Each structure stands twice: as C-alpha cells, then as structure tokens.
A and B are shown apart, each in its own frame.
Chain A
Amino acid sequence: MDMIEVSGLFKSYGPIQAIHDINFKVKRGEVVGFLGPNGAGKSTTMKIITGSMAPSGGSVRVAGFDVFEDPIEVKKRIGYLPENPPVYGDMSVESYLKFVAKLKGVEASRVKAQVEKSIEKTDLGSVRRRLIQNLSKGYRQRVGIAQALVSDPEVLILDEPTSGLDPRQVAEVRALIKELKGEHTIILSTHILPEVQAMCERIIIINRGHIVAQDSLEGLSTRMAGATQVKIKVARPSGEVEKSLQAIPGVSALVRVSMATLWRLPQVVPQTVRPTVSLSELLKQPFSRGRGFLSFAVRARILKRFS
C-alpha cells in the first residue's frame, strides 16, 4: 500500500518556480532519501507533504488522506523535523517533549511513556533536565529528532537529520534511522550521497525543482555505471556553446552548475558523455577555438556529483 502519494506538485514563490511537477509514491515502511544540491526544492516538497505550506498545484495523500482536505488526519500521522529544530529555548528537554506529545494528541496516559521512549532512542537522558537554549547544536538537533518521534507517527519526514552533528552522532542517527525502518515510513533529505547509501532503500534525486531520477540504490548505480561525467570550464559561455555540446553524439545530459559570476570569471559546464565520445570530438567544437575553452575533467561516476 502506498503511504505517501505525491502527484503533479508545483510550487512557485512569485516568479520563481521552486518545484516543478513532482510525482512519487512511497510504500509503507520504506525509507526514501531526497538527494539534491541546496535549493533544489527538497525542503519545499517536505513542507508541502507536512501541510505547513500549500502547493501552487497538485495533490498529496498520506495514508489515503488528502493533505488539504483532511489536514488534521494527516498531521496526526506525521512526525516532522524541519531544517531548524523547532525548539523553545526556555523549556527543558523533558517538558518540551511532553508538550509536543500532548500537542500531537498522544493520550494523557501514554505521554510519559512516549517521552521516555523518544529520550532513550535519541540518547538524551543526560540532558533531559537542561534548558534547550544551553544545549549544543548537535543536542538540539537530537531534540528535534526526538520531537518528531514522540508521537510514534506512521510517517517521519526528516529534513537533513544529520546536519550539525559530529561524525559519531551522525553514525548514531544513521543507526537510529535504520532501526526505525519498518516501523515507520521515512522520507529524509540530504545533500550527502553516503548518507543515502547508508540509510535509504530508494533515492529520489531532485535538481532545480525537478525529479531527475528515482530508483532503488542498486538500480540507480547500474543505470549510471557506464556513464562518464566530464566537467568543462569555458570563459564565455552562451546558449551556442550549450547547443554545440548537446550536438556531440553520446552526450546524454548537460547540466550547468554555476551561472554568470563577476567579471566574466570562468564558468563550469559539466556534462555527461558516453565513453564513446572522443576528446578530439570535444576539441573540434567551435567553442574550443578562441572562445575560452579553459579546462575539462573527467569523472567516473555520475552520483559523485552530489557528494
């Protein structure tokens, strides 16, 4: 059964399109990773699923309930960790978690047990009576995770759950998420590839508001195995350059990584080319002659681009 169903999701902030026709489904108990560079639309998509933001178009269903028609039913089932953990500095960890549990509608008789359980899972026992404002960023992040877990929701939406943590804590959080697998349906976002490899069964890659690829980890690596990524720097990039690059036989995708910088600094145009594209072919292109073809680098695996 599909726990989360997202179809045709659009969101624009004024003239800026944040996400563009996002479609995906998540099965019950699955752990899905949103992978993409900063500003790709991961957080926006997550906010829409949790019902804290309305899309410009499209629909989201969680456990069969439409987020906009039955928001309360959906919210009962979701634990959400936003980018910045939503904590009150002037509350102690324990009283804060109690408040969240009550707010999420946990029955009064189970509040205490649930709080204990989430404190234990996130290893916050040693700081439970301290004020959140006095905690380090890593602990705050863990309080944020505890907060998402405290109502024992069916769905967990975690926006960059490991940001701000030290390597040991990162490992702990990864282990925790693995442990939660099966009990909960989890969507987590990250811009770090090993993160996804460590925790997720399925990856959804988002770039500039579009879903670029979605597949299981194995599927994705076999699909990309044969591809080589070539990074090219040109001094005067233009539509013409892009066009001629696309015309090279074997080029499957062309992604511009940085837009115009100050004083016409070199720009980077990486592209994916099949190994069959010969370098001489590249060098024959018009932009390579007198147009500031500065450098290129070959990278073996496309997935590296996100790491």
Chain B
Amino acid sequence: MRGVLVIAGKDLRNLFLSPLFYGIAGLCTIAWTLVYFLGLQDFAQASAMSMMQGGQEGGANIHFVVFARHISLVNLVMIFSVSAMSMRLFTEEKRNQTMSLLLTSPVTATEITLGKLLAGLTAAWALVAISFLYPLSLRAFASFDWGPLISSYMGLLLITGCYVAIGMFASSLTESTVLSVVMALIFNVMLWFVGAVAEAQPEPPWNKIFEHLNVGTHFVNFIKGSVSVAGLTFFASVIVLMTFLTQRVVESNRWR
C-alpha cells in the first residue's frame, strides 16, 4: 500500500507540475465551452417555443438538451485526452530507464500497477471534475433535478476509468509513446464499436451477449438516470481486467 501511494504521488506531482496537464485541460475546456453554450441556446429557444405554445408539454428537459449533450462530448474528448495522458504511465518509465528503479525497489508488481492506475484515475477524474463545473454553474440561474446528473457523472467517472485502465495497459506494452497512444485510442474506440457489432447480430444468443458488452447501452443507461448492477459490473470488470493484464506485463519484466 505504501508503494502504491509513493508511486502515485510521484506521478501526480510530475503531471501537475508539467505543462501537459494544463495544456490538455485548457484545450478540453475550449471544446466544452463552445458546445455547452450552443446547448444552452437551443434550450432557451425550445423553452421559448413551448412557452408560446402555452406550456402544456412541460417544456424542454434541460438534462437531455444541455447536460446529456455536454456529457457525451466530455466522453468523446476523454477518449483522446486520457489516451494522451496515460501513455506516460509506463512508457515514460521505460524510456527514462527508470523502470529498473521500480523493479529493484521493495514493491510488488501489483503495487506498481495500482500506483499507476491511481495516478491515471486521479488525473482523468480531475478533468471530469472540471467538466462538472459547467452544469454546476447553471445552478446559480436555474433549479434542476440532481439525480440524473449525478448518475450521468457516475457513468462518466466509470467510463474514464476504463479509458485509463486501457491506456495504462497499452503503455505497459511498448517503449514507444506514439505506439502507446495509438494503441490506447484503438482499444478505446473498439470499446464503442462493439455496439455496431451488436446491431449487426440479430440472432438471439449473440445479440444479448453483444448488448451486454456494449459500452453504449450501459453508458446511456447512466445518462438516463438508471444505475444498474449490470452497468456497474461491466465497467468494473473492464477496469479490473485491464489492471490485471498490466500487472502481468509488469511482472513479466522479472522473468523475460
């Protein structure tokens, strides 16, 4: 446990003291601000329309018009930015030749991997926290239901957790930062393409299987405000599986 915190602490310190994190966070907020603003405009228009029609329909739903759109953009941006940040986790260590320091220190491969995961999660979740400021700031002007927003953010935290674990695994496989980023991107995007396969498989046993493997269905459920055991299990198992694979790769350094 000590090793986990020491390694995570070092990585986070180096990340938050480097311009990389601020560069990524800055670029993310530019994209988010533009689209969030457009979402708000659409919402204002839709509300005005329903007001003119007498307001019987109950007006537009801010969660779907503004927040859901914001969250799906955050997700899209995270696929790229988390891949870029998580490449550092192991690839940098190997390029710096500092991997031998970690491997000859009294820490286990599991501690090294969990330390890296913790650092990656903290960095990625810091970005998610920044994106949470957008809906939060709206609270000053309007009242809305917290429930679906919180469940959406739960989904967002879990899915970025998956991206981190996948990126960490990719970075453990190679010494090349470029290859590591490209691999992470491909794995992350593949996660979403399982959905396309699911749609192309109408046969009974397969469509169910692919539906459960589809990030899209689980994530949309979180956005809709339904937190299901199936969804939690899915995300948790992706993270655990990727962490386990990374741990095996790190451990294999000892016997290769």
Partner-B contacts on A (CB < 8 A): 47, 50-54, 71-73, 75-76, 78, 80, 82, 84-91, 95, 99-100, 102-105, 147
Contact = CB atoms under 8 A, between A and B. Distances in A.
B106 A52 contact: no
B14 A51 contact: no
Given A50-B104, A82-B100, A104-B106, A99 B255 contact: no
30 contacts: A47-B100, A50-B104, A51-B254, A52-B100, A52-B103, A52-B104, A54-B255, A71-B254, A72-B107, A75-B104, A76-B106, A78-B104, A80-B100, A80-B104, A82-B97, A85-B97, A86-B99, A86-B100, A87-B98, A88-B14, A91-B14, A99-B6, A100-B105, A102-B2, A103-B3, A103-B7, A103-B102, A103-B105, A104-B105, A104-B106
Contacts of A53: 254, 256
A261 B121 CA distance: 54
Contacts of B10: 88, 91, 99, 103
Interface pairs A-B: 7 shortest CB-CB: A86-B101, A54-B255, A75-B106, A86-B98, A52-B103, A76-B106, A50-B104
Interface string B218-256: 000000000000000000000000000000000001111
Contacts, number: 72
Contacts of A72: 106-108
Nearest to A144: B101
Interface string B101-120: 11111111000000000000
B97 A84 contact: yes
Looking at A54, A78, A84, A86, the one whose CB has the most chain B CB atoms below 10 A away is: A86
Contacts of A103: 3, 6-7, 10, 101-102, 105, 107
B56 interface: no
Given A72-B106, A75-B105, A80-B104, A90 B253 contact: no
Given A99-B6, A103-B105, A87 B96 contact: yes
B18 interface: yes
A147 B101 contact: yes
A103 B101 CA distance: 9
Nearest to B108: A72
B140 interface: no
Nearest to B252: A54
Looking at B3, B98, B104, B106, the one whose CB has the most chain A CB atoms below 10 A away is: B104
Given A82-B97, A103-B6, 9 more contacts: A47-B100, A52-B103, A75-B106, A86-B96, A86-B100, A90-B17, A99-B6, A100-B101, A102-B2
Contacts of A99: 6, 10
A99 B6 CA distance: 7
Looking at B98, B99, B102, the one whose CB has the most chain A CB atoms below 10 A away is: B98
A88 B98 contact: yes
A86 B97 contact: yes
A244 to B, nearest CB: 43
Given A53-B254, A102-B6, A105-B106, A90 B98 contact: no
Contacts of B254: 51-54, 71
Interface in B1-45: 2-3, 6-7, 10, 13-14, 17-18
A51 B103 contact: yes
Contacts of B17: 90
B2 to A, nearest CB: 7
B6 A51 contact: no
